[in-house]
Chains A and B, each alone.
Chain A
């Protein structure tokens, strides 16, 4: 099997003449944490919306572990192992925190009317396994005290943690994290960072779309830089930090080196 987990080729998306993404190509290596950065309007969100199936691309092709996902619907992307989180954190508010995690398993496995009606022993065993796995994950991210609480009582940062834990539940190949630390306090940022490291340590490849450059520099193995809908640069953290165009245009002088 190739070392490439996600391969994107010539991705383009135009909105009434505005080139949101224009012929972007890049690879995400298996097991890596790859950053996707760029200023507002650079095409990051459109890119991840396209490659997660939430927006139809005008042209281009993308594969996850060699499987072509171009033209398939968003839920089929998930079935193929590509899972994403959202910038505006999302959860099922009427469900408990633990139920939110269990939903990730239920959603992935799906269910037929007949088996749901009969409630087979297999389904019960799977539910119990999902419950145990969910409790372990909540312990891992420090939310075990909230397991039975409705997710509506969680703070914004805790919801971000919950959304990352949800992706862990479904055991994906690739997770796209859309601004996982946007709008949360520095203490919570460290907890989210820890959760991302744990997610990656479990063998999941991560594409991290983020504006917090300190976090990106600390976490990422490689970085992809977009500007005006096009690929500006791609390389290791050191290469990106040494790229004068990127530094001047997008990072600024304060981000020459990681802060910790």
Chain B
């Protein structure tokens, strides 16, 4: 092996990961140590957006399926949990997973019907599903109360023996969101770095080759969509109970757009860079509030700059360093390396 021709993603990965873990831990603790309600609320938002982005990364980044229905899964999770709690008196802790399950089932139905045709059909079908959910939320008034939404969602409660905790303030809700985000992201990390994750990537990279090696792509695509929809549905449930209301705005295209930005700038199919990107883009709009008039302009300029500097995302830049290193090494060793 030749001497290193410079740092590569592989050579600095352990250091990067350690630094990143420390930074994330510090960032996660900040809202818990702060008495500032604004910081805590921002923390809740960052936790939920990071989880949504990682779930979207699973289906888009790793499996290569551009799914526009993430926002529909968010809405289905939110509305299901809200309706089950307010109309049927279910506990939040049961209603939220049921919301996630219903979102997963919706995802499987859309995916099963469209993926048998092509990836493009999947994109169109998921877009249609998202629009359909918006119409249902707005026009099925007897179920969703239309544009008025379902307000006054009760705070989730925990009863453990003599311990009674009502999650009714931003500090507590941040604690719940943090636990959920860490659990969900750890779950996604486990999946992505397992054999299943490698199969997802193989389907994205070269589906005919994957098929020729024995992979049933439909089965694994459905699995990817189902898992992603389940996690996003759970996010929806948490989101509406944090806001104490669910209305059709949860199905706004803004959420789809934000998830896309987080994943594309981070680097689709990469874990840590998308996590960092999701946190940055959760906090960035708030940091730009110093100028209300120029906020969106600045946000747009930053996005353009990011796309110019990182056309393949942050991870793409690091990956290119790795590939360049190998090209140099092979060029140097040509004639010696067989």
Query: Interface with A: B118-126, B206-214, B290-298, which one?
Result: B206-214
Beyond A94-B205, A107-B202, A152-B323, is A78–B194 a contact (Cβ under 8 Å)? Answer: no
Residues of B within 8 A of A116 (CB): 190-191, 194-197
In whole angstroms, how far apart are the Cα atoms of A93 and B205 in the complex? 7
In chain B between 283 and 338, which residues have their CB closer than 8 angstroms to a CB of chain A?
319, 322-323, 326-327, 330, 333, 337-338
Residues of B within 8 A of A94 (CB): 201, 205, 269, 319
Select which of B10, B206, B319, B322 is within 8 A of A92 by beta carbon: B206
Residues of B within 8 A of A145 (CB): 333, 337-338
In whole angstroms, how far apart are the Cα atoms of A114 and B216 in the complex? 18
CB pair A170–B213 under 8 Å, yes or no, is: yes
In whole angstroms, how far apart are the Cα atoms of A111 and B220 in the complex? 10
Report the nearest B residue to A176, measured CB to CB.
Answer: B212
How many interface residues does B have (CB within 8 Å)? 36
In whole angstroms, how far apart are the Cα atoms of A146 and B338 in the complex? 9
Residues of A within 8 A of B214 (CB): 75, 78-79, 107-108, 110, 170
Q: Which of A94, A143, A170 has the most CB of B within 10 A?
A: A94
Interchain nearest-CB distance for A82 vs B (Å): 9
Residues of B within 8 A of A127 (CB): 195
Answer yes or no: A99 CB below 8 A from chain B CBs: yes
Answer yes or no: A66 CB below 8 A from chain B CBs: no
In whole angstroms, how far apart are the Cα atoms of A94 and B200 in the complex? 12
Answer yes or no: A52 CB below 8 A from chain B CBs: yes
Answer yes or no: B17 CB below 8 A from chain A CBs: no
Beyond A78-B214, A83-B213, A145-B337, is A119–B194 a contact (Cβ under 8 Å)? Answer: yes
CB pair A106–B201 under 8 Å, yes or no, is: no
CB pair A123–B205 under 8 Å, yes or no, is: no
Q: Which of A85, A95, A99, A111 has the most CB of B within 10 A?
A: A111
Beyond A91-B209, A150-B322, is A103–B216 a contact (Cβ under 8 Å)? Answer: no
Beyond A74-B212, A75-B216, is A106–B205 a contact (Cβ under 8 Å)? Answer: no
Residues of A within 8 A of B197 (CB): 116
Residues of B within 8 A of A59 (CB): none
Report the nearest B residue to A99, measured CB to CB.
Answer: B198
Answer yes or no: A73 CB below 8 A from chain B CBs: yes
Select which of B195, B217, B330 is within 8 A of A149 by beta carbon: B330
In chain B between 61 and 90, which residues have their CB closer than 8 angstroms to a CB of chain A?
none
In chain A between 48 and 92, which residues have their CB closer than 8 angstroms to a CB of chain B?
52, 54, 73-75, 78-79, 83-86, 90-92
How many interface residues does A have (CB within 8 Å)? 44
In whole angstroms, how far apart are the Cα atoms of A119 and B194 in the complex? 7
Residues of A within 8 A of B28 (CB): none
In whole angstroms, how far apart are the Cα atoms of A92 and B198 in the complex? 10
CB pair B199–A106 under 8 Å, yes or no, is: yes
Residues of A within 8 A of B194 (CB): 111, 116-117, 119
In whole angstroms, how far apart are the Cα atoms of A42 and B216 in the complex? 30
In chain B between 202 and 247, which residues have their CB closer than 8 angstroms to a CB of chain A?
202, 205-206, 208-217, 223, 227
In whole angstroms, how far apart are the Cα atoms of A52 and B196 in the complex? 24
Answer yes or no: A113 CB below 8 A from chain B CBs: yes
Residues of A within 8 A of B209 (CB): 86, 90-92
Residues of A within 8 A of B201 (CB): 92, 94-95
Residues of B within 8 A of A119 (CB): 190, 194
CB pair B211–A153 under 8 Å, yes or no, is: no
CB pair A74–B223 under 8 Å, yes or no, is: no
Interchain nearest-CB distance for B142 vs A (Å): 37
Residues of A within 8 A of B330 (CB): 146, 149, 153
Q: Which of B195, B211, B223, B322 has the most CB of A within 10 A?
A: B195
Residues of B within 8 A of A170 (CB): 213-214
In whole angstroms, how far apart are the Cα atoms of A102 and B194 in the complex? 13
Residues of A within 8 A of B202 (CB): 92, 95, 103, 106-107
Q: Which of A84, A107, A119 has the most CB of B within 10 A?
A: A107
In whole angstroms, how far apart are the Cα atoms of A86 and B209 in the complex? 8
Report the nearest B residue to A93, measured CB to CB.
Answer: B205
Q: Which of B10, B208, B209, B327 has the most CB of A within 10 A?
A: B209
CB pair A111–B195 under 8 Å, yes or no, is: yes
In whole angstroms, how far apart are the Cα atoms of A143 and B337 in the complex? 8
CB pair A86–B208 under 8 Å, yes or no, is: yes
Residues of A within 8 A of B187 (CB): 117
Residues of B within 8 A of A143 (CB): 338
Answer yes or no: A104 CB below 8 A from chain B CBs: yes
In whole angstroms, how far apart are the Cα atoms of A231 and B110 in the complex? 45
CB pair B205–A104 under 8 Å, yes or no, is: no
Report the nearest A residue to B226, measured CB to CB.
Answer: A113
9 tightest A-B contacts by CB? A107-B213, A78-B214, A116-B194, A116-B196, A111-B195, A90-B209, A142-B338, A145-B337, A92-B205
Q: List 7 A-B contacts (CB under 8 A).
A: A79-B214, A86-B208, A86-B209, A90-B208, A110-B215, A110-B216, A170-B214
A interface residues, Cβ below 8 angstroms from B: 52, 54, 73-75, 78-79, 83-86, 90-95, 99, 102-104, 106-111, 113, 116-117, 119, 123, 127, 142-143, 145-146, 148-150, 152-153, 166, 170
